[in-house]
Amino acid sequence: MRRAIAVARANLGKTAPNPVVGCVIVRDGVILAEAATAPGGRPHAEEQALRGIDASGATAYVTLEPCGERSSGAASCSLLLVKAGIGRVVIACEDPSPYAAGQGSERLTAAGVPVEIGLLADEAFATLHYQAWKDAVNGHQP
């Protein structure tokens, strides 16, 4: 997760209107792929990390709950993770957005993927400025 936070940090401040997210996919202690939300907010971190790898049975470390819906109607990151056969998802912080807000983790859990929430949550929240994202979701000026 510390690596996912560092990967995300590289794009901090560049991903509006979306939060910056880091994703690292690991199997047997080996990093298969890692990515951050792209400048401009899309594509999402998980979407990029999953491209071109066999993630079956692997663990995804993500700094923010994977989205449960896309504003474009495209496949959500939680669905992409399920389709890729991911074995486990470890999340730092919950995403308050209506596009996530529990839906992402619920979708994973419903598909039988174990989900853990809260690993390095304080560190991710502070380092990746998620308070500003929370304020934006709640209609406050960040």
| Interacting residues with ligand AOF (CB under 6 A) | 18-19, 21, 37, 41-42, 44-46, 64, 66-67, 70-72, 77, 95, 97, 99-100
User: What is the smallest separation between the CB atom of 142 and ligand AOF, expressed in angstroms?
Assistant: 14
What's the closest the beta carbon of residue 76 comes to ligand AOF, in angstroms? Answer: 7
Q: Of the listed 46, 47, 69, 94, which one is catalytic?
A: 46
Beta carbon nearer to ligand AOF, 28 or 140: 140
- Residues shown for the chain: 142
CB of 71 to ligand AOF, least distance (A): 3
Nearer Cβ to ligand AOF, position 29 or 131? Answer: 131
Residue nearest to ligand AOF (CB): 97
* 47 noted as active-site residue: no
Those residues whose C-beta lies under 8 Å from the C-beta of residue 63, and which sit 6 or more positions away, are 1, 4, 5, 8, 20, 21, 22, 23, 45, 91, 92, 93, 124, 128
Of the pair 32, 49, the CB lying nearest ligand AOF is at 49
Burial classification of residue 19, based on how many CB atoms lie within 10 Å of its CB (0-12 exposed, 13-18 middle, 19 or more buried): buried
